[in-house]
Amino acid sequence: MNSKYLHMTAMTLLWVGGLNWGLVGLLDINLVTMLLGDGTMLTKIVYILVGLSTVWIIITHKKDCRICNPG
């Protein structure tokens, strides 16, 4: 898989996770469980993918970030 597409997929999942946690904190609404069900295998897969995406972004951030690595 192309590094650019992997990065964009990871960022998209990171946004989904961040927005979901924001809604949980502000309004007690969990969109992932609303859409996929509470405790389903698909919900767990989404949470695992969001977590793996976060780890990927943490590991590759310095190399990919234009602010941290100008030029």
Burial class (CB in 10 A: 0-12, 13-18, 19+), 60: middle
Domain segments of the chain: what residues? 3-64
Give the pLDDT band of residue 63 (cuts 50, 70, 90): confident
State pLDDT tens for residues 34-46: 999 999 999 999 9
pTM of the entire structure? 0.81
